[in-house]
């Protein structure tokens, strides 16, 4: 998961094929074409594939018991990305009254650099737009690649969390992506006080 320290992987020199995207709830295989990426809710038979991706991706991988415990909790949700019948990625998040909390996201090393993680984030953001004001996450300070990825999909760093992880001494970088409409509603955008003065004067 992104909050953890990723393993180093050698870059793949081969160009990845273009991938089309579909999305549905529990349906396991709505599309037949080759290179069709399908994002759906996690089901029990996906657990082993998710744990395998965890072990390939992170030094501190979740166990099957930890994953099961997480998904059994209220408002804890997970999705997998399925490519040609194979689970190649996943993301997990928590629902809070005002925001989503992204707990983890990963793609199998053999399928990275193909835009799969970006497509999963797009699906998460679609849900955020209709339900909550923002998505928050925590990524290790040493995980520069993770920070760069999240910045590329619209996140900004908001602070440093000291001692954020139990399993290691790394600090965490707090990041957030806000819904544009929410930013306007909550007056996140700066006010031009000089311009407002002239607007008020012209109305008198």
- CATH architecture of the domain with range 20-203: 3-Layer(aba) Sandwich (3.40)
pLDDT for 179 equals: 79
pLDDT for 75 equals: 93
pLDDT for 92 equals: 97
Query: Over the stretch 34-78, which tens digit does the pLDDT of each residue have?
Result: 578 999 999 999 999 999 999 999 888 899 999 999 999 999 999
CA distances from 135 to 69, 106, 142 (A): 22, 17, 21
Does the model's pTM come out above 0.75? no
pLDDT for 80 equals: 97
pLDDT for 142 equals: 85
* CA dihedral angle for residue 32, residue 33, residue 39, residue 40, rounded to 10 degrees: 0
Strand pairing class (172-178; 76-83): unpaired
pLDDT for 185 equals: 44
pLDDT for 121 equals: 95
pLDDT for 3 equals: 52
The label of the residue with tokens 């099961």 reads 68
Domain locations in the chain as residue ranges:
20-203
Give the chain's residues under pLDDT 50.
1-2, 8-15, 17, 26-27, 32, 182-199, 201-202
């Amino acid at each position: 998961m992104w909050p953890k320290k990723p393993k180093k992987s050698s870059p793949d020199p081969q160009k990845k094929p273009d991938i089309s995207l579909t999305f549905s709830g529990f349906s396991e295989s709505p599309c037949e074409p080759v290179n069709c990426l399908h994002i759906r809710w996690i089901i029990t038979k996906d657990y082993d594939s998710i744990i395998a991706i965890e072990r390939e991706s992170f030094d501190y991988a979740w166990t099957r018991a930890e994953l099961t415990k997480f998904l059994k909790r209220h408002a804890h949700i997970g999705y997998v990305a399925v490519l040609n019948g194979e689970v190649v990625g996943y993301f997990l998040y928590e629902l809070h009254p005002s925001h989503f909390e992204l707990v983890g996201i990963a793609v199998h090393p053999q399928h990275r650099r193909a835009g799969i993680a970006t497509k999963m984030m797009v699906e998460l953001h679609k849900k955020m737009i209709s339900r909550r004001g923002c998505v928050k996450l925590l990524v290790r300070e040493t995980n520069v690649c993770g920070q760069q990825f999240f910045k590329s999909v619209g996140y900004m760093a908001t602070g440093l969390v000291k001692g954020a992880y139990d399993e290691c001494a790394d600090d965490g970088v707090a990041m957030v992506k806000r819904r544009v409409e929410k930013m306007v509603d909550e007056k996140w955008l700066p006010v031009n006080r000089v311009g407002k003065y002239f607007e008020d004067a012209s109305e008198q």
